Amino acid sequence: MKRFTDISLKNKIFISILAVILMISAAIAFLARWILVSSLISELELRGIAIARTIAERGSGYVLDRNYPRLLSLIFDEAQLNERKHLVAYIFIVDQENNILSHTFTYPFPAHLRTANRVPPEEGKSVQLLTVGNQAAYDIALPIHEGIYRIGTVHVGLNKSHIDNLVSKLRFTFLGFISLVFFIIFIMSHKLAKYITRPISKLTRLSDELSRGNFDIQLDPGSATGDWDPSACPAYVNTDLPCWHFDDASAAREGAAEPSEHRHTCRPCVFYGKREGDEVGQLADSFRSMVWSIKLYRRRLHESEDKYRSLFDSGPDPIFVVDSSSLKIIDANPRAVELYGYEKHELVGRSFLELEPQNPRTGTASFAIDSDAHGCVFYQKVLHQKKGSKPVFVNLHACHISYRGRPAVIVAATDITEMMEKDAQLIQASKMKSLGEMSAGMAHELNQPLNAIKMGSDFLAMMMENDLEVSKENLQQVVSEMSTQVDRAADIINALRAFGRKADFVMEKVDINKPVRGVFSIVGRQFELENITITMELAKGLPPIMAHDNRLQQVFFNLVTNARDAIMEKNQTGSPRAGGTIRIRTYEADGHVVAEVRDDGAGIPDSVRDKIFDPFFTTKETSQDMGLGLAITYGIVKGYGGDIQVTTRRTEGTTFILSFPVPG
- Can you give the binding site for another protein, defined by CB under 8 A? 3, 6-8, 11, 14, 67-70, 72-73, 76, 80, 85, 89, 105-109, 133-135, 159, 161, 164-165, 167-169, 171-176, 178-179, 182-183, 186, 190, 204, 208
Beta bridge partners of 392: 384
Nearest to 37 by CA among 141, 172, 168, 140: 168
Indicate the residue among 193 and 330 with the shorter CB distance to another protein.
193
Taking the complex as a whole, the smallest distance from the CB of residue 169 to another protein amounts, in Å, to: 8
> Which residue type does 255 have?
G
Taking the complex as a whole, the smallest distance from the CB of residue 194 to another protein amounts, in Å, to: 10
Indicate the residue among 167 and 348 with the shorter CB distance to another protein.
167
CA 367 to CA 426: how far, in whole Å?
32
Taking the complex as a whole, the smallest distance from the CB of residue 63 to another protein amounts, in Å, to: 14
CA 393 to CA 389: how far, in whole Å?
12
Burial of 646 (0-12, 13-18, 19+ CB in 10 A): middle
Indicate the residue among 179 and 265 with the shorter CB distance to another protein.
179
Indicate the residue among 160 and 564 with the shorter CB distance to another protein.
160
Indicate the residue among 145 and 190 with the shorter CB distance to another protein.
190
Indicate the residue among 91 and 507 with the shorter CB distance to another protein.
91
Burial of 105 (0-12, 13-18, 19+ CB in 10 A): middle
Taking the complex as a whole, the smallest distance from the CB of residue 183 to another protein amounts, in Å, to: 7
DSSP code string of 556-611:
HHHHHHHHHHHHHHHHHHS-TT--EEEEEEEEEETTEEEEEEEE-SS---HHHHTT
CA 330 to CA 327: how far, in whole Å?
9
Distance from first CA to last CA of the chain, Å, rounded?
Answer: 71
Between the CA of residue 606 and those of 270, 611, 612, what are the distances in Å? 78, 10, 10
Taking the complex as a whole, the smallest distance from the CB of residue 68 to another protein amounts, in Å, to: 6
Indicate the residue among 159 and 434 with the shorter CB distance to another protein.
159
Indicate the residue among 175 and 662 with the shorter CB distance to another protein.
175
Helix or strand holding residue 382 (H, E): strand 376-385
Classify strands 100-103 and 88-95 as parallel, antiparallel or unpaired: antiparallel
Taking the complex as a whole, the smallest distance from the CB of residue 62 to another protein amounts, in Å, to: 9
Helices (H), 212-278: 234-237, 249-253, 259-265
Taking the complex as a whole, the smallest distance from the CB of residue 326 to another protein amounts, in Å, to: 39
CA 13 to CA 543: how far, in whole Å?
88
Taking the complex as a whole, the smallest distance from the CB of residue 101 to another protein amounts, in Å, to: 11
